[in-house]
Structure 1
């Protein structure tokens, strides 16, 4: 078999004019896979993405780059579905424009509505607003807009909500290395251990995307959580004591035998972790 050939593609977000680079693409890569990649690269959830190439036709999710005659280094256009003013919301979030976001239905007391939302009952309307707030939060965390992130969290945007690929705002902030946004999300109880559909956590993504600072930041937060959950026993059981704890220091922990032999007590070292990973085995 021939070795897989990888190449890069440019992806232009039509609403903002931003151009992102999708690396390690290959001929048999499906458009669905590219969308999942762009959810991190461009910060746009997969269910809002419309991908086109050369003409205006949408590229089918199960079609491949080769099938669509997409060449290495080519430029794919990423468009946002226009219904429900999603394209306006994405543009405002991509620019970190808090005033525009506030007018586009991301707060619980919003007066914003669409023809569809006007027919929703209170429960449906609440879910609709929560979803809009999450999308804005996801994009803001991707771009590293701390003020917008704080605004959205303060007004109830969920740190637990996920994209269709299972990613939270913490996932994308970690992949992009946006430390300030990571701190803010953690302050609002973002779940550091929450996995996406590929069972990758925010810490995993920080490592995979080479964000060493964010990886360490999340790792230390993880250790602090673990330390806070530990319960210190005020009194140990007899079976839990080591030899030097069982005997008074004035008492000998060795014996002498015939021919001047010395028999030492078998003192065991406390079990230590191998490495620094939180789930590393003990010696």
Structure 2
């Protein structure tokens, strides 16, 4: 029995109604006028495995997800190729897409998860918990060492410990930045 005040829908009308809803779902939301989005804005990133929050202060609409991951590589200490970034319900963000493409809201929160393959998640979590079994001379694919990360975070005790175990302040990443350069750029010293 149809609800009070409604008429029964024929198969044709039900199908048309469903199609109308589907086309409504596929209609893109209006874009925020570029004049309302600040040129430089900050984003927050939550590491889902631990709940840790990281702030990225100098983002732009043309910043790529890959560039965002490379910055998180330093700030969070998690190599970019272990990161999966998600924003709202858009799924995993592709490295070559830009923040403007995804309509990031200034001050919004991005979720970061770690890939579960080959034990990398366990390794990254052990490093975050202070497990000293990892080599301080290992490099990420962009040439960063544990000393780059410690300098980016301003962790003096870690820096001293890494230097005692053979890390070098002169080791440069693929962008030509030494740990000291990174610390200066992020105003840690």
TM-score normalized with structure 2 length? 0.75
Larger radius of gyration: 1
* Corresponding position: 1:34 with 2:68: yes
Q: Distance in 2 between matches of 1:28 and 1:192?
A: 32
* Corresponding position: 1:49 with 2:26: no
Q: Output the aligned Cα RMSD.
A: 1.8
Tell me, what secondary structure is at the counterpart of 1:185?
helix
Residues 53-96 of structure 1: CA deviation (Å, up to 9, x unaligned): 112611110000111121111111101111223323333332x2
Tell me, what secondary structure is at the counterpart of 2:58?
strand
Q: Distance in 1 between matches of 2:152 and 2:54?
A: 15
State the match for 1:198 in structure 2: 175
State the match for 2:96 in structure 1: 62
1:161–1:86 CA distance, 2 compared to 1 (3 A): closer
Q: Distance in 2 between matches of 1:170 and 1:35?
A: 18
Q: Distance in 2 between matches of 1:38 and 1:190?
A: 21
Q: Distance in 2 between matches of 1:56 and 1:69?
A: 11
* 1:74-223 equivalence runs, <5 A: 74-94=108-128, 96=129, 140=130, 148=131, 151-152=132-133, 157-212=134-189
* Corresponding position: 1:9 with 2:77: no
1:170–1:39 CA distance, 2 compared to 1 (3 A): same
Tell me, what secondary structure is at the counterpart of 1:84?
helix
Q: CA deviation at 1:6?
A: 0.4
State the match for 1:265 in structure 2: none
* Corresponding position: 1:19 with 2:43: no
Tell me, what secondary structure is at the counterpart of 1:24?
strand
Give ranges in structure 2 of 5+ residues lacking alignment: 1-34
Tell me, what secondary structure is at the counterpart of 2:54?
strand
Q: Distance in 1 between matches of 2:53 and 2:166?
A: 32
Greater relative contact order (CA < 8 Å, ≥ 6 in sequence): 2
Give ranges in structure 1 of 5+ residues lacking alignment: 97-139, 141-147, 213-283
Q: Distance in 2 between matches of 1:188 and 1:91?
A: 21
TM-score normalized with structure 1 length? 0.51
